[in-house]
């Protein structure tokens, strides 16, 4: 072991007595507990995913508590970049690095909510109620406002009075499902975020 | 992106203009730093603000927002005047040699054929002269005064250094230095990449901004080359996928288009879409349009789509106009829309003119918001003081807020801007009772279908006949949908030469889009995605990190559309004989029998280059277009027009206000502000700490950028007596916002047309729900005007005024 | 005591002497290349998330720095400086945080045994259960890094993710950094890498580019590549030649031993005085003299 | 009190003064112990007396405040006897005789001799310095009011003043032991006439004169 400059001072300075004691076999200094925080992901389950924010689509690893055993509820406890991903190679931006806080955001919606005309408040409703009511509203409007032929008599089969704004962070599979449902109904007021 | 994120590392010169990659795409920007570190690349940043991209650039050139075409036109002029083009590439791979009709002309800022009443052009004369066989005439010497090269040269002679500097406010020395650096890549050994995003698209002439740089890239031979290309960085994680899958007002998956009212039947529809080659021996790939359309219809309507009913041609709606989002809200504002769905989208903050949007939503009978987060749109009827000053009792809209899962709670794929389709896996259950969007859409459809089956109603056929091949019809699986998008064989397809041999067996997943058919024997939800889920499995889930020769292509990582190709137009990386232009920039080459190399060739694998087939196989010309014919509504060459709200008159054509064919509704035209009332040039943008209106719900990001601010120069601050941290009010003719002031050296007044123009920067991330301090939407200020071609709103250039105010009472 | 080799302790606060260790491990370092930093704050976000820190949402005060200073929950902070370099604007963005000095002033100042330790790999870590919250580390630090929490009165600062490094991972900030402006490895490797970066910067016109590894504190395990290494103070007052303050050196150096010696000596002198000169006792004649003086009054 | 039977007894300290002194003394000892515990690693074990390191850190400044208050009481009580006089300088010049128990060579001393006065003023000064520097170091409440450089200076001043004070206290205690008959002044409030004659003759004379006048 080479003796660094600092080490030299240590030896010659106030530590002289102690060092000498140690050299004589007196292990001075009480063993005070000092250990690092345990690595918090040691046995967490890893799931590969893609950052939902921008179109770089960085690979991320979601770490969940629980080993998927029946009696352990999976809970995401950490998100980190996927080092294998060719584009981000484990790195993340400030949004990606805080994805956990997005998943756990206090303003996430957890239950279907409904606001009636003129009301000042939300009311929690059941899925059954919400879906029944929405599909009924849809059919009502479609049956009333569907344009089968235009003024020139050309078959156009469009439904111009209800619109759908699709997302731009949902999966392709969601997108295709949405496309099928929206277009088969004849809806034309249909767009996504690509224009903005 | 024509290329990909990793490929940026191969560039020698990188221009970030019309974007701010370091802030908006930090992990993609990594490959810029890699190019700088390992390829000795130089980074140029052209932006009104000295951004965090500029902070690590080699050259920063300021520019007034909305004057990009002038700057790029000057660059084109510089390249042509100084003879910096990559000559063989331009002569062979572009339409430089094509002869244009004699009727074409340009005068006083307008192309020939302008109709002021309709605010539109008659574009008939913007086309090639054809010979007797219907083939375009060319002059390979580029000397004919009516050839594209000469017309282009003539068009851009007006864009002198003096004129460009006068328009843009860019200092001449920096501007010319940047041009010189970019033009240095007009050689086979060097490449230049263009990285842009909404800084170019969010203008009334957004498409032409991009085209102008595309022309530069073609002149320098940088398309199809490693480290080159036109790279749209794009916005959301799956904005590429949503567009690919046709979730836009006029699209069918795979960039097919909906029919319009003038196309009553399938034959008429196909006539304007199956482009015939315009030069001998060209591919004109869109000749296959029918195969993609029929396969799509089979995927949608299955057995109900038959040859006899024109493949259920009438099941899809026809368009009288394009119902883009600006029109959607205009119609809503007029009371013509009754119900509206917002799926993971927050239009109240995303679209221009918030006041108009609130009025429009108020006129809806019902609104359904599907989102993991509580959005401002869902809460548009809630009173939030000055941040959303409405009276709920006066709003009669019925609103549903449906909780959806987020990315972490579902399986599926996303398509990034490199066109990589990547699969992701679910890690946990969604909170509370939240459901996936797939389940919600399926539930709505199932209820509709049941009602139509039972009670009938308006044209129930497409609803009743929609294919629904899912094991659990109420809960389709992402994998089932992925297989559907890929497509499958419906009936056995025998070999044309040997009918005993079955090429495609019924039930099999489609292996490639080249095998799709227009006889109803194949189905594919989105032809460009064919290959994502074959019989070999889920190609999107591939995780092979091998990258032969460090090209940055990663051919077996996930799947890249089309056909797992990583760099579009890669045939152009080789010369006419199929030899790479340079060893350093090689991608694919002709080995005498076939094309091969690092990437999947963007070309017929067995097409001998000596046949004269040119690289741009999607175009009927076979070459890339410097002159776009009538494809763009606002001109075959990009021309500089001022923003609709501009501090100066257009020095090139002072009488013309804005893009002469940009889409403006009448009432919106009336609320444009004048420079005399609103003398400051404003622009909106994102900050790296936030993602749109989403991350403000995230506590960590709220800590990193907690409160709305605007950025102004020290000079303007002095003039207006504003110090850093002061409260200011920013007004446009449409509204006013209050914000904190950030006074910075990073914004400087620019001298344009002889007078100083002050710039006000307005970040857009704040609203009235979330973890950040409440703030005003930047869209309180922005004008409601859309790009001439794709209707993107002009968020990047408008006029405001600013004043210091006393702090609001808490 | 930590058992992993990389976590063997080299020095421990307020311990008269740390026993010499049989094992020695490789020194690690984090290299922050300011010339590649885009100020995106990913490092800051990653730090919050990894360390489970929930900082308060603040306000804007006309700056990009948020929060406005390091806190007990913000262990790293991007600091922004706009520098007009003869007409060419430069936006100098520095990631501030613990430098993990080889001669740590905090450790020197700390009075609580084992509250601050320096591992063999160079990481200077605060062991919270031993911390008494006196704030001496704040006074000892030449970079003004540690902060005392109002919640639990303990000192906090960057740990260089000692928990990650101990299991062979890079610190959270280094892993997150999109542009490799933060690089992590052995100190030797980081110096070699820095040489390459400095050569590149010189080629791009930054003649004074260099490595900030200040010898005044024995070098650091967080180093900077600076375009203007001749003027580190440009980067939000990064000290030009940091060292442990002479006042702290005096206070925490030999003085404490001298003082104790002084106390003992004083007492000892008294003792020897007593045994040599004896007590000063009142004698009978004094009492009588007093009586005389006062007559017969008691 | 048979021992005192043949002696004159003089009152020296009132009950209040004694309570004040011992309160101050006890707190000061605790203050010194807690301070030393944080001052030298070798004495850190003393934090155990206070319940541990954080508790010691927390209690020390409050003890300081208590010392300031109790010493303030002593200061008010005794400051008037501690102004420097000409004899004190003379006394100091013959300090060698003091040490060698040759009091006969010294000038007559009033209520306090020069050494005692130095202890008084030394303590006063140390406590002022300790209090002021202590405030600067008391981060729990006052961290934001000073710069780090000021804090460093305060830390050094605190350490120096504390060391000085501890030396003075040691001398003070030793002097009380060495000069027999002194301790009772603070335990019983009185001294013998002989003690006063021997050490504070001028004071004795003044006291006697006062009594005479009272007659």
Residue A37 lies in a domain: no
Helix H or strand E segment including B207: helix B206-219
Residue B234 CB partners (closer than 8 Å, separation 6+): A54, A55, B1, B197, B240, B417
CA-nearest of C59, C61, C101, C55 to C75 is C55
Do C156 and C9 fall within a single domain?
yes
Chains A and B physically touch (3 or more Cβ atom pairs below 8 Å): yes
Do C72 and C144 fall within a single domain?
yes
Q: What's the mean pLDDT in C133-157?
A: 95
Say yes or no to pLDDT of A29 above 90.
Answer: no
Say yes or no to pLDDT of C37 above 50.
Answer: yes
Chains D and B physically touch (3 or more Cβ atom pairs below 8 Å): no
Q: What's the mean pLDDT in B573-589?
A: 96
Q: Check residue A18 and give its pLDDT.
A: 38
Q: Check residue C16 and give its pLDDT.
A: 65
Q: What's the mean pLDDT in C190-202?
A: 97
Mean pLDDT is lowest, of A22-26, B131-135, B174-178, C199-203, for A22-26
Residue B308 CB partners (closer than 8 Å, separation 6+): none
| The pair of three-digit structure tokens given for residue D156, joined into one six-digit string | 């050094």
* Residue of D139, D175, D205 best to disrupt the C interface, most CBs of C under 10 A: D139
Question: Domain residues of chain B, as ranges?
Answer: 6-232, 252-416+419-565, 663-805
Tell me the shortest Cα–Cα distance from C16 to chain A, in angstroms: 7
Residue numbers of C between 4 and 33 with CB closer than 8 Å to B: none
* Residue of B62, B689, B715, B804 best to disrupt the C interface, most CBs of C under 10 A: B689
Q: What's the mean pLDDT in B133-154?
A: 96
Considering chain B, what percentage of its residues have pLDDT values greater than 70? 100
Do A99 and A49 fall within a single domain?
yes
Strands B13-17 and B42-47: what pairing?
A: parallel
CA-nearest of C104, C97, C114, C95 to C142 is C104
Q: What's the mean pLDDT in D83-93?
A: 89
Do A152 and A183 fall within a single domain?
yes
Quick check: D9 and C136 CB within 8 A? Answer: no
Task: Report d(CA B122, CA D130) in Å as an integer.
Answer: 91
Residue A178 lies in a domain: yes
CA-nearest of C58, C57, C101, C93 to C76 is C93
Quick check: C133 and D57 CB within 8 A? Answer: yes
Tell me the CA distances in angstroms from B756 to B64, B748, D159, one per residue in order.
11, 10, 62
Tell me the CA distances in angstroms from B22 to B195, B758, D9, one per residue in order.
11, 24, 91
Tell me the shortest Cα–Cα distance from A69 to chain B, in angstroms: 13
Say yes or no to pLDDT of C19 above 80.
Answer: no
Say yes or no to pLDDT of C298 above 80.
Answer: no
Quick check: B317 and A158 CB within 8 A? Answer: yes
Question: Position of tokens 């007021």?
Answer: A189
Q: Check residue C290 and give its pLDDT.
A: 84
Task: Report d(CA C288, CA D6) in Å as an integer.
Answer: 9
Residue C78 lies in a domain: yes
Q: Check residue A131 and give its pLDDT.
A: 98
What is the sign of the dihedral through the CA atoms of B83, B84, B90 and B95? negative
The burial class, CB within 10 Å (0-12 / 13-18 / 19+), for C29 is: buried
Residue B577 CB partners (closer than 8 Å, separation 6+): B590, B609, B610
Say yes or no to pLDDT of B735 above 90.
Answer: yes
Do C247 and C280 fall within a single domain?
no
Question: Domain residues of chain D, as ranges?
Answer: 13-81+102-214
pLDDT-derived band of residue B580, with 50, 70 and 90 as boundaries? Answer: very high
Checking phi first, is residue B339 left (phi over 0); if not, alpha (psi -120 to 50) or beta? beta
Number of domains, chain C: 2
Considering chain C, what percentage of its residues have pLDDT values greater than 70? 94
Q: Give CA torsion, residues D195, D196, D200, D203, to 10 deg.
A: 170
Do C244 and C153 fall within a single domain?
yes
Quick check: C36 and B744 CB within 8 A? Answer: no
Tell me the shortest Cα–Cα distance from C83 to chain B, in angstroms: 8
Say yes or no to pLDDT of A160 above 50.
Answer: yes
**CATH code: domain of residue A85:** 3.30.200.210
Question: Position of tokens 């909906």?
Answer: B258
Quick check: C49 and B56 CB within 8 A? Answer: no
D167 touches chain C (CB under 8 A): yes
CA-nearest of B5, B528, B546, B37 to B226 is B5
A71 touches chain C (CB under 8 A): no
Tell me the CA distances in angstroms from B785 to B137, B662, B694, one per residue in order.
38, 7, 25
Domain B6-232 has CATH 3.40.50.620: no
Quick check: C284 and D194 CB within 8 A? Answer: yes
Residue C236 lies in a domain: yes
Say yes or no to pLDDT of C209 above 70.
Answer: yes
Residue A36 lies in a domain: no
Do C95 and C221 fall within a single domain?
yes
| The pair of three-digit structure tokens given for residue B227, joined into one six-digit string | 């480290």
Say yes or no to pLDDT of B696 above 90.
Answer: yes
| The pair of three-digit structure tokens given for residue A41, joined into one six-digit string | 């992901």
Residue B109 CB partners (closer than 8 Å, separation 6+): B639, B641, B650, B652, B653, B655, B656, B660
Quick check: A119 and B790 CB within 8 A? Answer: no
Task: Report d(CA B213, CA A157) in Å as an integer.
Answer: 40
Task: Report d(CA D202, CA D196) in Å as an integer.
Answer: 9
3-state SS, residue B371: strand
Tell me the CA distances in angstroms from C131 to B244, B329, C51, C107, one per residue in order.
58, 61, 18, 11
Contact A190, B239 (CB under 8 A): no
CA atoms within 13 A on the CB side of C65: 20
Tell me the shortest Cα–Cα distance from A52 to chain C, in angstroms: 16
**CATH code: domain of residue C113:** 3.30.70.20
Closest residue to B37, CB basis, from C45, C48, C200:
C200
Q: Check residue B73 and give its pLDDT.
A: 98
* Active-site residue list of D: 172
Q: Which domain holds residue A167?
A: 146-196
Q: Check residue B810 and give its pLDDT.
A: 61
3-state SS, residue B544: coil
Q: Structure pTM?
A: 0.93
Averaged pLDDT of chain C? 92
pLDDT digits (tens, 9 = 90+) for B583-605: 999 999 999 999 999 999 999 99
pLDDT-derived band of residue B570, with 50, 70 and 90 as boundaries? Answer: very high
Averaged pLDDT of chain B? 96
Say yes or no to pLDDT of A146 above 60.
Answer: yes
Task: Report d(CA A44, CA A67) in Å as an integer.
Answer: 7
Residue numbers of C between 49 and 108 with CB closer than 8 Å to A: 49-50, 102-103
What is the sign of the dihedral through the CA atoms of B460, B465, B467 and B468? positive
Residue numbers of C between 187 and 226 with CB closer than 8 Å to B: 197, 200, 203-204
Say yes or no to pLDDT of A17 above 70.
Answer: no
Quick check: D159 and C255 CB within 8 A? Answer: yes
Mean pLDDT is lowest, of B421-425, C222-226, D95-99, D124-128, for D95-99
Quick check: B745 and C40 CB within 8 A? Answer: no
Other residues' Cβ atoms within 10 Å of the Cβ of residue B145 = 11
Say yes or no to pLDDT of D4 above 80.
Answer: no
Averaged pLDDT of chain A? 86
Question: Position of tokens 């089932």?
Answer: B480
**Chain A residues lying within 8 Å of B31, measured CB to CB:** 87
Say yes or no to pLDDT of B624 above 70.
Answer: yes
Residue C35 lies in a domain: yes
**Chain B residues lying within 8 Å of A112, measured CB to CB:** 400-403, 433
CA-nearest of C243, C239, C217, C244 to C226 is C239
Q: Which chains touch C (3 or more CB pairs under 8 A)?
A: A, B, D
CA-nearest of C67, C6, C78, C47 to C174 is C47
- Direct distance between the N- and C-terminal alpha carbons of chain D, in angstroms, rounded to an integer: 27
What residues does B231 pair with on adjacent strands?
Answer: B195
Question: Position of tokens 């009033």?
Answer: D110
Do C279 and C213 fall within a single domain?
no
With vertex at residue B269, the alpha carbon angle to CA B265 and CA B272, rounded to the nearest 5 degrees, is 150
With vertex at residue C263, the alpha carbon angle to CA C260 and CA C264, rounded to the nearest 5 degrees, is 90
Say yes or no to pLDDT of A24 above 50.
Answer: no
User: Which residue of A lies nearest to B339 if distances are taken between CA atoms?
Assistant: A162
Task: Report d(CA C128, CA C157) in Å as an integer.
Answer: 11
CA-nearest of C225, C196, C87, A83 to B36 is C196
Tell me the CA distances in angstroms from A2 to A52, B203, C121, C183, D57, one per residue in order.
52, 66, 16, 27, 39
CA-nearest of A108, A172, A111, A162 to A140 is A162
Q: What's the mean pLDDT in C261-283?
A: 92
Residue C259 lies in a domain: no
Residue C260 lies in a domain: no
Residue numbers of C between 70 and 99 with CB closer than 8 Å to B: 82, 84, 89-91, 93
Averaged pLDDT of chain D? 91
Q: What's the mean pLDDT in D195-208?
A: 87
What residues does B534 pair with on adjacent strands?
Answer: B537
Q: Which chains touch A (3 or more CB pairs under 8 A)?
A: B, C
Question: Position of tokens 């104790």?
Answer: C260
Say yes or no to pLDDT of A25 above 50.
Answer: no
Helix H or strand E segment including B447: helix B437-455
Classify B663-805 by CATH class: mainly beta
Say yes or no to pLDDT of A8 above 80.
Answer: no
Do C22 and C126 fall within a single domain?
yes
Task: Report d(CA D90, CA C57) in Å as an integer.
Answer: 69
The answer, yes or no, to whether the previous bond of B562 is cis (omega within 30 of 0) is yes
Q: Which domain holds residue C103?
A: 5-251
pLDDT digits (tens, 9 = 90+) for B71-95: 999 999 999 999 999 999 999 999 9
Q: DSSP strand E in A83-126: where?
A: 113-115, 123-124
Classify B252-416+419-565 by CATH class: alpha beta
Tell me the shortest Cα–Cα distance from A35 to chain B, in angstroms: 28
Considering chain B, what percentage of its residues have pLDDT values greater than 90? 97
Q: DSSP strand E in B223-371: where?
A: 230-232, 251-252, 256-257, 339-343, 366-371
Q: Check residue C281 and give its pLDDT.
A: 87
pLDDT digits (tens, 9 = 90+) for A105-137: 999 999 999 999 999 999 999 999 999 999 999
C52 touches chain B (CB under 8 A): no
Do C242 and C281 fall within a single domain?
no
pLDDT digits (tens, 9 = 90+) for B456-511: 999 999 999 999 999 999 999 999 999 999 999 999 999 989 999 999 999 999 99
ipTM above 0.85, yes or no: yes
Q: Check residue B771 and give its pLDDT.
A: 97
Q: What's the mean pLDDT in C264-277?
A: 93
Number of domains, chain A: 4
Quick check: B723 and C62 CB within 8 A? Answer: yes
Checking phi first, is residue B488 left (phi over 0); if not, alpha (psi -120 to 50) or beta? beta
Q: Check residue A13 and give its pLDDT.
A: 36
pLDDT digits (tens, 9 = 90+) for C50-91: 999 999 999 999 999 999 999 999 999 999 999 999 989 999
Closest residue to B740, CB basis, from C60, C91, C203:
C60
Do C281 and C214 fall within a single domain?
no
Quick check: C56 and B50 CB within 8 A? Answer: no
Q: Check residue A27 and give its pLDDT.
A: 39
Quick check: C293 and D197 CB within 8 A? Answer: yes
Tell me the shortest Cα–Cα distance from A187 to chain B, in angstroms: 7
Checking phi first, is residue B215 left (phi over 0); if not, alpha (psi -120 to 50) or beta? alpha
Q: What is the 3-state secondary structure (H, E, C) of B143-187?
A: CCCCEHHHHHHHHHCCCCHHHHHHHHCCCHHHHHHHHHHHHCCCC
Q: Check residue D103 and give its pLDDT.
A: 81
Task: Report d(CA C245, CA C137) in Å as an integer.
Answer: 12
- Helix B161-168 and helix B68-81: axis angle, to 10°? 170
Q: Check residue B277 and give its pLDDT.
A: 94
Tell me the shortest Cα–Cα distance from A39 to chain C, in angstroms: 5
Considering chain A, what percentage of its residues have pLDDT values greater than 90? 72
Residue B508 CB partners (closer than 8 Å, separation 6+): B488, B489, B535
Q: What's the mean pLDDT in C231-237?
A: 97
The answer, yes or no, to whether the previous bond of C67 is cis (omega within 30 of 0) is yes
The CATH topology of domain D13-81+102-214 is Fumarate Reductase Cytochrome B subunit (1.20.950)
C62 touches chain B (CB under 8 A): yes
What residues does A158 pair with on adjacent strands?
Answer: A147
């Amino acid at each position: 072991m080479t003796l660094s400059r600092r080490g030299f001072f240590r030896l010659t300075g106030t530590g002289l007595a102690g060092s000498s004691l140690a050299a004589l076999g007196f292990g001075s200094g009480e063993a005070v507990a000092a250990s690092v925080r345990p690595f918090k992901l040691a046995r967490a389950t890893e799931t590969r995913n893609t950052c939902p924010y921008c179109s770089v689509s960085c690979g991320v690893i979601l770490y969940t508590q629980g080993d998927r055993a029946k009696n352990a509820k999976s809970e995401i406890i950490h998100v980190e970049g996927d080092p294998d991903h060719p584009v981000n190679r484990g790195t993340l931006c400030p949004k990606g690095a805080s994805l956990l806080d997005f998943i756990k955001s206090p303003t996430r919606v957890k239950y279907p909510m409904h606001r009636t005309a003129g009301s000042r408040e939300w009311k929690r409703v059941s899925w059954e109620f919400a879906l029944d009511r929405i599909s009924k509203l849809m059919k009502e409007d479609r049956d009333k406002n569907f344009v089968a032929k235009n003024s020139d008599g050309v078959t156009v089969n469009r439904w111009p009075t209800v619109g759908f704004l699709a997302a731009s962070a949902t999966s392709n599979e969601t997108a295709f499902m949405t496309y099928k449902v929206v277009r088969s109904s004849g809806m034309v007021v249909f767009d996504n975020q690509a224009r903005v | 992106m024509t290329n990909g994120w990793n490929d940026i590392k191969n560039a020698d010169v990188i221009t970030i203009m019309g974007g701010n990659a370091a802030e908006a795409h930090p992990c993609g920007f990594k490959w810029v730093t890699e190019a700088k570190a390992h390829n000795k690349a130089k980074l140029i940043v052209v932006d009104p603000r000295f951004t965090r991209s500029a902070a690590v650039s080699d050259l920063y050139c300021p520019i007034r927002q909305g004057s990009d075409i002038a700057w790029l036109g000057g660059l084109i002029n510089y390249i042509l005047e100084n003879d910096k083009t990559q000559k063989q590439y331009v002569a062979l791979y572009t339409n430089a040699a094509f002869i244009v009709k004699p009727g074409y002309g340009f005068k006083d800022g307008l192309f020939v054929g302008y109709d002021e009443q309709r605010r539109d052009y008659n574009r008939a004369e913007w086309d090639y002269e054809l010979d007797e066989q219907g083939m375009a005439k060319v002059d390979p010497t580029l000397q004919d005064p009516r050839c594209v090269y000469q017309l282009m040269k003539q068009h851009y002679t007006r864009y002198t250094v003096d004129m460009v500097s006068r328009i843009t406010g860019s200092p001449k020395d920096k501007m010319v230095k940047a041009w010189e650096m970019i033009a240095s890549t007009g050689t086979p050994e060097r490449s230049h990449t263009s990285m842009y995003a909404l800084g170019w698209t969010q203008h009334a002439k957004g498409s032409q901004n991009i085209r102008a740089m595309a022309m530069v890239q073609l002149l320098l031979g940088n398309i199809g080359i490693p480290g080159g290309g036109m790279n749209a960085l794009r916005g959301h994680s799956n904005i590429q996928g949503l567009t690919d899958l046709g979730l836009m007002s006029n699209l069918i998956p795979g960039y097919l288009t909906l029919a319009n009212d003038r196309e009553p039947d399938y034959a008429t529809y196909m006539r304007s879409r199956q482009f015939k080659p315009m030069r001998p021996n060209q591919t004109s790939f869109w000749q296959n349009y029918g195969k993609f359309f029929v396969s799509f219809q089979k995927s949608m309507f299955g057995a109900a789509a038959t040859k006899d009913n024109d493949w259920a041609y009438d099941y899809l709606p026809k368009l009288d106009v394009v119902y883009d989002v600006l029109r959607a809200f205009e119609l809503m504002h007029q009371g013509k829309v009754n119900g509206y769905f917002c799926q993971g989208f927050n239009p109240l903050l995303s679209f221009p003119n918030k006041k108009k949007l609130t009025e429009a939503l108020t006129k809806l009978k019902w609104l359904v918001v599907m989102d993991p987060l509580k959005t401002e749109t869902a809460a548009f009827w809630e009173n939030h003081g000055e941040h959303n000053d409405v009276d709920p009792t006066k709003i009669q809209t019925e609103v549903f807020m449906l909780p959806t899962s987020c990315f972490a709670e579902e399986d599926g794929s996303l398509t990034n801007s490199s066109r990589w389709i990547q699969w992701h896996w679910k890690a946990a259950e969604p909170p509370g009772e939240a459901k996936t969007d797939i389940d919600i859409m399926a539930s709505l459809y199932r209820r509709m279908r049941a009602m139509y089956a039972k009670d009938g109603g308006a044209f129930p056929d497409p609803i009743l006949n929609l294919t629904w091949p899912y094991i659990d019809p109420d809960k389709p699986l992402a994998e089932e949908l992925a297989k559907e998008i890929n497509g499958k064989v419906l009936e056995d397809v025998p070999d044309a030469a040997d009918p005993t041999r079955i090429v495609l067996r019924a039930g099999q997943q489609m292996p490639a889009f080249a095998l799709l058919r227009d006889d109803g024997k194949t189905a594919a939800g989105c032809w460009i995605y064919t290959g994502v889920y074959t019989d070999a499995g889920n190609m999107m889930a591939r995780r092979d990190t091998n990258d032969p020769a460090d090209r940055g292509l990663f051919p077996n990582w996930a799947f890249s559309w089309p056909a797992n190709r990583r760099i579009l137009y890669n045939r152009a990386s080789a010369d006419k004989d199929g030899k790479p232009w340079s060893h350093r920039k090689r991608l694919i080459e002709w080995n005498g029998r076939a094309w091969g190399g690092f990437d999947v060739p963007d070309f017929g694998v067995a097409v001998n280059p000596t046949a004269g087939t040119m690289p741009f196989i999607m175009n009927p010309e076979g070459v890339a277009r410097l002159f776009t014919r009538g494809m763009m509504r606002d001109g075959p060459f990009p021309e500089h027009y001022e923003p609709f709200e501009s501090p100066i008159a257009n020095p090139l054509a002072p009488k013309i206000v804005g893009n002469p064919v940009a889409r403006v509704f009448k009432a919106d035209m009336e609320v444009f502000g004048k420079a005399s009332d609103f003398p400051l040039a404003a622009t909106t943008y994102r900050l790296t700490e936030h993602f749109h209106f989403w991350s403000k719900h995230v506590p960590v990001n709220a800590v990193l950028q907690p409160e709305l601010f605007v950025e102004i120069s020290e000079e303007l601050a002095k003039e207006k007596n504003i110090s850093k941290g002061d409260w200011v009010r920013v007004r446009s003719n449409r509204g006013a916002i209050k914000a904190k002031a950030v006074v910075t050296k990073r914004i400087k007044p620019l001298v344009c047309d002889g007078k100083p123009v002050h710039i006000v920067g307005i970040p857009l991330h704040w609203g009235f729900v979330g973890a950040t301090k409440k703030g005003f939407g930047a869209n309180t200020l922005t004008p409601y005007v859309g790009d001439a071609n794709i209707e993107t709103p002009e968020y990047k250039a408008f006029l405001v005024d600013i004043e210091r105010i006393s702090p609001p009472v808490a | 005591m930590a058992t992993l080799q990389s976590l063997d302790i080299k020095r421990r606060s307020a311990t008269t002497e740390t026993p010499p260790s049989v094992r020695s491990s490789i020194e690690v370092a984090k290299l922050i290349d300011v010339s590649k930093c885009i100020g995106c704050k990913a490092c800051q976000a990653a730090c919050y998330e990894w360390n489970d820190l929930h900082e308060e949402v603040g306000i804007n005060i006309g700056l990009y720095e948020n929060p406005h200073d390091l806190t007990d929950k913000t262990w790293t902070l991007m600091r922004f400086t706009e520098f007009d370099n003869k007409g060419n604007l430069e936006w100098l963005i520095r990631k501030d945080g613990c430098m993990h000095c080889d001669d740590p002033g905090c450790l020197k100042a700390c009075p609580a045994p084992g509250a601050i330790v320096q591992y063999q790999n160079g990481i200077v870590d605060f062991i919270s259960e031993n911390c008494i919250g006196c704030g001496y580390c704040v006074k000892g630090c030449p970079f003004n890094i540690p902060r005392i929490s109002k919640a639990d009165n303990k000192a906090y600062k960057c740990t260089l993710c000692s928990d990650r490094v101990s299991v062979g991972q890079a610190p959270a900030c280094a892993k997150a950094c999109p542009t490799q402006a933060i690089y992590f490895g052995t100190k030797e490797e980081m110096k070699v890498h820095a040489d390459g970066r400095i050569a590149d910067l010189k080629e791009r016109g930054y003649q004074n580019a260099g490595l900030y590894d200040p010898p005044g504190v024995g070098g650091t395990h967080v180093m900077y590549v600076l375009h203007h290494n001749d003027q580190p103070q440009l980067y939000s007052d990064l000290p030009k030649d940091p060292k442990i303050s002479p006042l702290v050196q005096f206070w925490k150096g030999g003085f404490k031993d001298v003082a104790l010696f002084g106390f003992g000596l004083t007492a000892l002198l008294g003792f020897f005085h007593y045994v040599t000169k004896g007590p000063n006792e009142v004698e009978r004649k004094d009492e009588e003299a007093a009586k005389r003086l006062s007559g017969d009054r008691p | 009190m048979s021992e005192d039977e043949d002696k004159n007894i003089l009152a020296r300290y009132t009950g209040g003064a004694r309570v004040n002194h011992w309160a101050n003394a006890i707190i000061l000892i605790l203050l010194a112990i807690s301070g030393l515990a944080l001052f030298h690693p070798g004495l850190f074990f003393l934090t155990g007396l206070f319940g541990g390191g954080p508790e010691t850190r927390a209690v020390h400044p409050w003890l300081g405040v208590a010392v300031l208050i109790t010493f303030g009481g002593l200061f008010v009580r005794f400051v008037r006897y501690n102004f420097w006089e000409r004899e004190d300088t003379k006394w100091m010049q013959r300090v060698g005789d003091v040490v060698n128990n040759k009091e006969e060579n010294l000038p007559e001393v009033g209520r306090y001799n020069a050494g005692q006065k130095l202890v008084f003023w030394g303590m006063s000064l140390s406590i002022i310095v300790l209090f002021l520097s202590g405030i600067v170091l008391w981060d729990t409440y006052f961290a934001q009011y000073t710069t780090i450089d000021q804090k460093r200076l305060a830390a050094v001043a605190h350490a120096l003043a504390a060391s000085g004070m501890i030396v003075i206290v040691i001398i003070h205690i030793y002097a009380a032991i060495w000069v027999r008959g002194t301790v009772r002044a603070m335990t019983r409030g009185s001294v013998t006439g002989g003690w006063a004659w021997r050490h504070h003759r001028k004071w004795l004379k003044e006291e006697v004169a006062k009594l005479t006048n009272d007659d």
